[in-house]
Amino acid sequence: MNDIFLKNYPLLITGVRIGEKQGDIFINEQGMIGAIGEQVKKQYAGQAEFIIDGGGAIALPGLVNTHTHAAMTLLRGYADDMVLQDWLSQKIWPLETHLTGDDVYHGTRLACLEMIRTGTTAFNDMYFFMEDAARAVAETGIRAVLCHGFIDFSNPEKREAECRATERLASHIKSLNNPRIKAAAGPHAPYTVSKEGLRWCAEFAKEQGIGIHIHVGETEKEVSDSVAQYGKRPVAVLDECGILTSRTVAAHCCWLNKPECRLFARRGVHASHNPTSNMKLATHRAMPYHWLKAAGANIALGTDGCSSNNNLDMFEAMKSASLLQKFFWNDPTLLPAPEALQMATSAGSRALGLGTGALVPGSLADIVLVSSGTACNVPLHNPVSNIVYSCSGPAVETVLCNGKVLMLEREVPFEQEILTRAQEAASALVQRAAQS
């Protein structure tokens, strides 16, 4: 049975709940959903190399995490409950200067393991040593869009280095020729990248036909600083530099105003809501979901990195999003469960241009089975409500990405090795920082 993992066999998943109905899913050798519905088992049993007994589980499209810094799993719990500036300058940055490519490899493997275990099959990542992150993604079988976090602080030399790093990553990922791994340009934020840097990223992304991943409007200070520096709010600066495109994912978006929400919709920018991180770091304002929705913008979901969350559980992110919106905007009908599930699946897939996010024939087979034989799914009045409000990530029992099995009945290959090596890397990193 070990043989089933990470292979492109034609597969049949039987006896799962798909929306309101029970049915089966046939996955072809191309890693796509070949057929789905009630009569699929009869028709396709002969063609399947393996049959997975769904046992009444709830089938969902694989969840899509549209904003992460995956390797920051190594910093999980290293520093919490601090003011942002102290936290960065006293804790996070001093540790990050000691990071190596191998650390990023081990941290990203840990992140991939955690995401697989909690039903995420694709993520949008920004960090450093991204060729090592790509190695981890390739091995663990998950899907990712990877970018180098481009920060120039208006220093031309630094900018040059960041441009080269961005080019190198894009060319490296092209050379991998892995359908699960894409590159993006990653201008960090309007307050850490010069207009020249932003313009370069926009041009480069356009020329390469790749995405853009950026932080926008996380704090109120970002807005007032931009007005002081440029005489414009950050979104206007980004638009001036060509960053707002239909290939752009903007993380956080807490401090957008109504005209900015409409501009996002017009430009086709995808907003990535990060409710857990926003609460932990006290951004004091929730992304205006209702304005973005009314404007017709695509709204996806993310966890942010593990040092400000501190996990990568997209079930928790769905619940946090729905609850934070209700609470902050004072409306218990806002962001109902079906919309939260959509943010985490189809909207996320659309934001990253993945061709996943729906259980329909022809879709890439990124599929998650959530156990129905667990207290969080009893009673089953409303599976979508249970998924969003009652269950957490560990309710996931089986995960496929691109038609390959990554987890089967809670077994993930090499789990122990991944955990051990990540723990070792994290301990060594802290030790190096302490000795310096």
- How far apart are alpha carbons 375 and 431 in whole angstroms? 42
State which H helix or E strand residue 16 sits in. Answer: strand 11-18
Residue of 41, 67, 69, 117 that binds a copy of itself (CB under 8 A): 117
Whether a cis peptide bond, with omega within 30° of 0, leads into 310 is: yes
- 343 vs 351, beta carbon nearer a copy of itself: 343
- How far apart are alpha carbons 370 and 385 in whole angstroms? 13
- 6 vs 430, beta carbon nearer a copy of itself: 430
Q: Which stretch binds a copy of itself (CB under 8 A): 34-42, 96-104, 287-295, 376-384?
A: 376-384
Q: Which stretch binds a copy of itself (CB under 8 A): 14-22, 172-180, 360-368, 377-385?
A: 377-385
> Does residue 391 touch a copy of itself according to CB under 8 A?
yes
Residue of 20, 381, 435, 436 that binds a copy of itself (CB under 8 A): 381
- How far apart are alpha carbons 370 and 398 in whole angstroms? 7
Residue 193 half-sphere exposure toward CB, CA atoms < 13 A: 31
The answer to whether the beta carbons of residues 207 and 235 sit under 8 Å apart is no
CB-based contacts of 342: which residues, under 8 Å, 6+ apart? none
Residue of 389, 413, 432, 433 that binds a copy of itself (CB under 8 A): 389
Q: Per-residue x/- mask for a copy of itself, residues 303 to 342, rule CB under 8 A? A: ---x--xxx-x--x---x-xxx-xx--xxxxxxxx-----
- How far apart are alpha carbons 376 and 397 in whole angstroms? 13
Provide the minimum distance between the beta carbon of 169 and a copy of itself in the complex, in angstroms, as a whole number: 26
- 93 vs 327, beta carbon nearer a copy of itself: 327
Provide the minimum distance between the beta carbon of 68 and a copy of itself in the complex, in angstroms, as a whole number: 14
Provide the minimum distance between the beta carbon of 405 and a copy of itself in the complex, in angstroms, as a whole number: 19
The answer to whether the beta carbons of residues 44 and 25 sit under 8 Å apart is no
150 bridge partner residues: 187
Residue of 232, 358, 385, 411 that binds a copy of itself (CB under 8 A): 385
Q: Are strands 181-185 and 211-216 parallel, antiparallel or unpaired?
A: parallel
- 42 vs 381, beta carbon nearer a copy of itself: 381
- 25 vs 75, beta carbon nearer a copy of itself: 75
Query: Which segments within 103-230 are labelled E, that is strand?
Result: 120-127, 143-148, 181-185, 211-216
> Does residue 416 touch a copy of itself according to CB under 8 A?
yes
| Structure tokens, 350 | 């659309």
> Does residue 435 touch a copy of itself according to CB under 8 A?
no
Q: Where are the alpha helices (DSSP H) in 209-355?
A: 220-230, 234-240, 258-267, 275-280, 289-295, 314-328, 337-342, 348-352
> Does residue 395 touch a copy of itself according to CB under 8 A?
yes
Residue of 376, 413, 432, 433 that binds a copy of itself (CB under 8 A): 376
- How far apart are alpha carbons 93 and 38 in whole angstroms? 54
Residue of 262, 280, 293, 432 that binds a copy of itself (CB under 8 A): 280
Provide the minimum distance between the beta carbon of 87 and a copy of itself in the complex, in angstroms, as a whole number: 8
State which H helix or E strand residue 25 sits in. Answer: strand 21-27
Instruction: Single out the residue of 268, 274, 266 nearest to residue 219, CA to CA.
Output: 274
Binding site for a copy of itself (CB under 8 A): 73-78, 80-84, 87, 110, 113-114, 117, 276, 278-284, 306, 309-311, 313, 316, 320, 322-324, 326-327, 330-337, 373-376, 378-383, 385-386, 389-395, 416, 419, 422-423, 426-427, 430
